[in-house]
Structure 1
């Protein structure tokens, strides 16, 4: 039985939490009413908009702290994003993937993607492993574990990643070893360690080199044998500045690579993207290899191999 995914390929306004929340609630209602859906996927930074690279460097650490949320069911009132996502998932009986968003855990800040089940309960969170240099310099901490969860109706296993992770084979390989049939990640233009950033000649909007991103996605799906959905979208500046950045939403399959006629561009904004994925024919979790991959992920972005503190 195929897994039915709906992606909200849309706009996020910098810092406009109320506006963004209202838009997502409206788009979520439309997406699930027009088509049967198992998983609803939001773009990156769905409530606040992206931060690193979008504000002056000296202001970024304080903005990150100001937007940071405590992500736990016992403190849901301290997480506007989790509150919104929980409401949507429970009302429509769907899984929701949202993130990354800025998470505060004790003294540390993470870029965290959350997964909420159809009952509105938090079933998992993924802290971005492959931080960029700018993100580390801004005070963010890399995660140390990957996340794969199963959608019960379909038995399809879903892995989660975030933008820069795509450049590190060991991160997506970890998802494969844990049995992922499909991986879902969000990417808005960011200062990558590997992917070139450019501006569109016609309007000056920032984006990443599409061809480079598609080549990476093609390779990762083929080498791991899973499908992939890369969720893009547009970023609106504050104070009526108009659009400042855009990334397409891209789908890829292990046999055919990137499906070019399914790429969603600027003209497709605010239209839900529907994807169906079947369980991989011979996908078995390889738990005996996971400790090795976990150790590789733990070192990504860490300083001097220092051990991380556990969440308080």
Structure 2
């Protein structure tokens, strides 16, 4: 399989051992087959570069369809066309690629169908030991997401690749560091963040840097190259250390793979502040419910 056209950015080049990867890849809105081809190529490339866990862009199956179509498509039709469940071809493909190439995959911000309910979910697909995918459901639902029938999640799921433990924050969640703090209190030592290209969070680079410094952990922000109709949107992919320092910013319109040695991440010590995770999460959920009842979403 060809890897021509991908640029490699290796943090700590020459450092031995497994790596964490960010797939700065193209995502074409409403072009499922094209996106799967892009995904196959970057997974193959990552497997050749000793990547153990690969993080792919926002809504990589179909692109930012909620932001693009929620005003022009009926909610039921949008959910029918773009929601995925465990039997959907997208998740089957992720499981196949994960098992075949021997790496874990984190796919953020999918529309998940769970019975009759729908969520915005970030899915972790492990490659070994017959483990099933794990989902982190978005807690802070936007007005557009609510409009198409998306429900909020109610817990922070820890995604564990046995090197690191991850918490994933999507779009408006990155401006609420308490969500990340709940994950860190549950043992997470890596925050993964991502945002919509059509409704990007203002000053997201500064926010991601502040998030790392507040939480005292690494933050990997996965951007990408998004094609919506005839428009192209490029979002930065970032690696930020626990001091809030920008270690890598990849902002090119050329597809790329950014890799970081696990050894460098694990060498940075995190200070345990003795946070009450359950108490913080309970407070946040009560606050969110009050805002929803008042018609004030994020």
TM-score norm. by structure 2 comes to: 0.83
Q: Which residue of 2 aligns with 1:295?
A: 282
SS in 2 for 1:122: coil
Q: Which residue of 2 aligns with 1:252?
A: 240
CA distance in 2, matches of 1:297, 1:281: 27
Q: Which residue of 2 aligns with 1:67?
A: 82
Q: Which residue of 1 aligns with 2:52?
A: 38
Superposed CA offset, 1:112-136 (max 9, x none): 1110112263241101112222222
Q: Which residue of 1 aligns with 2:115?
A: 106
Q: Which residue of 1 aligns with 2:26?
A: 11
Work out whether 1:90 is the aligned partner of 2:79.
no
Counterparts of residues 48-197 of structure 1 (less than 5 Å): 48-55=62-69, 57-59=71-73, 61=75, 62-71=77-86, 78-119=87-128, 121-152=131-162, 154=163, 156-191=164-199, 195-196=201-202
TM-score norm. by structure 1 comes to: 0.79
> What residue ranges of structure 2 are gaps of 5+ in the alignment?
1-15
Superposed CA offset, 1:195-254 (max 9, x none): 34xxxxxxxxxxxxxxx112211111111110000101122134xx2x342211111111
1:264 to 237, 247, 250: 250
CA distance in 1, matches of 2:148, 2:52: 36
> What residue ranges of structure 1 are gaps of 5+ in the alignment?
72-77, 197-211, 306-312
Matched-pair contact (CA < 8 Å) for 2:183–2:277: no
> What is the number of equivalent residue pairs in this alignment?
272
Q: Which residue of 2 aligns with 1:23?
A: 38
Shift of 1:65: 3.1
Work out whether 1:215 is the aligned partner of 2:206.
yes
Q: Which residue of 1 aligns with 2:222?
A: 231
CA distance in 2, matches of 1:296, 1:89: 37
Q: Which residue of 2 aligns with 1:276?
A: 261
Over aligned residues, Cα RMSD in angstroms? Answer: 2.4
CA distance in 1, matches of 2:117, 2:273: 31
Task: List structure 1 runs of 4+ shifted beyond 4 angstroms.
Answer: 282-286
Q: 1:168 to 1:2 in 2, by over 3 A?
A: farther
